[in-house]
Structure 1
Amino acid sequence: MAIPLSRSAESARPRSAPAKDSDPLRRKKNRNRLKTLGFLSPWLIGFSVFFAYPLIATVYFSFMHYNQIQAPDFVGLKNWRYVFTQMPLFGPALWNTLWLVVVMVALRVVFGLGIGLLITKIKAGVGFFRTAFYLPYLAPPVAATVAFVFLLNPSTGPVNEVLDWFGISGPNWFNDPNWAKPSLVMLSVWGIGDLMVIFMAALLDVPKEQYEAAELDGAGAWGKFRFVTWPSITPIVMFAVVTGVVQTMQYYTQALVAGKLASGVSVGPGSVIQPGYPEHSTLTVPQLVYSMGFQNFNTGAACVLSLVLFAIAMAVTILLMRKSTGLLTAED
């Protein structure tokens, strides 16, 4: 028989805390999460619309036969086999693109850094030289290419005429397969103003006390550059190299316009020409993507080419950003 507890015993027994509808700390965390998500929403929307969805769609269409008119038809790896085994222009286009990536990016970084160093050392007329070197970068790509093709015209161009004065026989430039890509590199180096400004800002940010300490230790010009300047600007060099690789992997306008003009075809509505003149020496993978996707309506093959470009760009970027490459130190 249960013995009833007294009122005092009942009051002494521990009671569980009353259940709450929501914990204040948890509500605060949820509000912070919502605020963070709100601040990130512009980037998330842009990333989803302009990167994630196009990438997923490109992978999807790479396994489809799609002519942009009829419904997509699944064909498996047929597009991939066609690009790697049956497309005759894929090899030359890939070689030209990689050649431009290596040579163009390297020379742009070297000349941009060199001009930036030169201008930071000039005592008088800094504004004039800075403006003179930056102005070519502001020229539209089509206009700059048209001007370069005119200047380097093998028969009427002023560059070959000046070379003739010195007894030098000028090359055919954009009309010669061996000189077409170097001519494009010259055009790119001419518009070096963007990298010059970036390197100038990095060079002016190097502490002067480090130069004074290196000079007291007996370091010359090369020693100060090697042990003071270079370690300070390596992140900027990395930025220039990575962005240069990405931009050059998308190289399209200048090569296409130069090929059309050098071949004698007028640039305008309705003008159709196989890209890569002369002899496919200026053909790049982005030109091949456009030709396959919008001229031949072979969307599947164009998507495969785009994914190859994306994979190469990602691989090169990861390789460059590894600390073992020497461009980044442990502190970076």
Structure 2
Amino acid sequence: MSQTASRPGRRNTADGARTERPKGRFGLVGQEWRNQRNGILFISPWIIGFLVFSLGPMLASLYFSFTSYNVLKAPRWIGLQNYVNIFSNDPYLRDAVVNTLYLAALGVSAGTLLSLALAMLLNQRVKGIGIYRTLYYLPTMLPIVVSSFIFLLVLDPQFGVINNLLGVFGIPGPGWLRSPDWSKPALIVLGLWGVGNSVVIYLAGLQDVPRHLMEAAEVDGAGWWQRLRHVTLPMLSPVIFFNVVLAIIAAFQNFVSIFFLTDGTGGPARSTVTWGLQIYTNAFVNGRMGYASAMSWIMFVIVLLVTLGLFRLGSHVVYYEGGDGRRK
């Protein structure tokens, strides 16, 4: 006796004829719709939180960016005037842009090289390697305020550990955070203190490099530099790309450490004034919430364009296994 195979969304009648099952909302069969509904109910707390605490404030700040608003009075619509004032009348614009780009370019470059080098060292099979990995990751467990306070003591021009160590060798220590020429390098050094997260990600990527490729390169007589250049870095390029994108976004948003180390002034001599610090100063010190909202959206657009540019570049330089090895 032949049997009629059933399909999802269909049912068999007594005479063997097949009829369509009644569909629920959005064209889903009853059980599929219940599964979909239950899934939405489970993630509904996140959806509500996102709408209330993320999307809602973003849309509100977009509206405020076209108004004159100081929180105490109702916002007054002024159109694009805030954006015009930012690019024409803001005396801190040049310093904020230059300092932000300086910290982003050098900080991300130095952080990437250091974290990659540390990951390669921690990828060696030596006794006690787990202890070394833990020690390099521990600084990331400290809150940024605590790390900033530690570096405020370490980089003190008179009593700091670094300058005292340099004095032992007869080298005069720099002024660090009290010097306009050394304040930004001091912030970069503080950023390097927290590369542990990137190191862990790079370490995971290094351990995922196919061993047979390294062995084949060794058989062909490739030295460590050739293996690094032609095997390790191409296979690690997706991980490098991921870390670089996150680091650039974080560099543009850097605020807490600068605010703490400079008491919110961006000193000395405006050498640490950044875009993020200016947003805070205009919003909560000067009471120009509409102006600060406009600055926030300008930064959002800049970060978005930089990220899109990186993804476009990544499609040509990042290697992915499978297919032709390039991201489509």
Q: TM-score, normalised by structure 2?
A: 0.84
The Cα shift of 1:115 comes to: 0.2
The Cα shift of 1:116 comes to: 0.4
1:72 alignment partner, one of 72, 75, 78:
75
Relative distance call for 1:211 and 1:25 in structure 2 (3 A) is farther
- Distance across 2 between alignment mates of 1:56 and 1:253: 24
Query: What is the match of residue 18 of structure 1?
Result: none
Relative distance call for 1:296 and 1:30 in structure 2 (3 A) is farther
The Cα shift of 1:52 comes to: 2.8
For 1:102, give the aligned amino acid: A
For 2:137, give the aligned amino acid: Y
Query: What is the match of residue 266 of structure 1?
Result: none
The Cα shift of 1:26 comes to: 3.5
- Distance across 1 between alignment mates of 2:48 and 2:231: 42
Q: CA offsets per residue over residues 148-173 of structure 1, 9 Å max, x none?
A: 12111111222112112212111101
Relative distance call for 1:168 and 1:298 in structure 2 (3 A) is same
For 1:29, give the aligned amino acid: L
Task: Tell me whether 1:277 sits opposite 2:276 in the alignment.
Answer: no
> What is the Cα-based RMSD across aligned positions, in Å?
2.1
Task: Tell me whether 1:24 sits opposite 2:21 in the alignment.
Answer: yes
Query: What is the match of residue 172 of structure 2?
Result: 169
Task: Tell me whether 1:207 sits opposite 2:207 in the alignment.
Answer: no
- Distance across 2 between alignment mates of 1:309 and 1:130: 35
> Any unmatched runs of 5+ in structure 1?
1-21, 261-273
Secondary structure of the residue aligned to 2:123 is: helix
Give 1 or 2 for the bigger CA radius of gyration: 1
The Cα shift of 1:50 comes to: 3.9
Matched-pair contact (CA < 8 Å) for 2:235–2:319: no
Relative distance call for 1:283 and 1:37 in structure 2 (3 A) is farther
Matched-pair contact (CA < 8 Å) for 1:321–1:328: no
Query: What is the match of residue 5 of structure 2?
Result: none
Secondary structure of the residue aligned to 1:206 is: coil
Matched-pair contact (CA < 8 Å) for 1:116–1:199: yes
- Distance across 2 between alignment mates of 1:174 and 1:112: 24
Moved over 6 A (4+): none
Secondary structure of the residue aligned to 2:200 is: helix
Query: What is the match of residue 188 of structure 1?
Result: 191
Once the two structures are superposed, the pairs formed by residues 205-284 of structure 1 within 5 Å of their partners are: 205-260=208-263, 275-284=265-274
The Cα shift of 1:204 comes to: 0.9
Query: What is the match of residue 39 of structure 2?
Result: 39
For 1:58, give the aligned amino acid: S
Query: What is the match of residue 102 of structure 2?
Result: 99
Secondary structure of the residue aligned to 1:283 is: coil
Secondary structure of the residue aligned to 1:233 is: helix
Relative distance call for 1:173 and 1:324 in structure 2 (3 A) is same
Query: What is the match of residue 112 of structure 2?
Result: 109
Query: What is the match of residue 268 of structure 1?
Result: none
The Cα shift of 1:37 comes to: 6.0
For 1:301, give the aligned amino acid: Y
- Distance across 2 between alignment mates of 1:54 and 1:183: 34
- Distance across 1 between alignment mates of 2:85 and 2:302: 19
For 1:213, give the aligned amino acid: A
- Distance across 1 between alignment mates of 2:34 and 2:104: 43
- Distance across 1 between alignment mates of 2:293 and 2:37: 32
For 1:288, give the aligned amino acid: Q
Percent identical: 34
Q: CA offsets per residue over residues 192-225 of structure 1, 9 Å max, x none?
A: 1111111111111112111111111221111111
Task: Tell me whether 1:147 sits opposite 2:131 in the alignment.
Answer: no
- Distance across 2 between alignment mates of 1:275 and 1:285: 13
- Distance across 2 between alignment mates of 1:55 and 1:328: 35
Relative distance call for 1:231 and 1:25 in structure 2 (3 A) is farther
The Cα shift of 1:81 comes to: 1.2
Query: What is the match of residue 299 of structure 1?
Result: 289
The Cα shift of 1:122 comes to: 4.4
The Cα shift of 1:244 comes to: 0.9
User: Once structures 1 and 2 are overlaid, which stretch shifts more, 320-329 or 115-124?
Assistant: 320-329
Query: What is the match of residue 311 of structure 2?
Result: 321
Q: CA offsets per residue over residues 283-305 of structure 1, 9 Å max, x none?
A: 12111111111121111110111
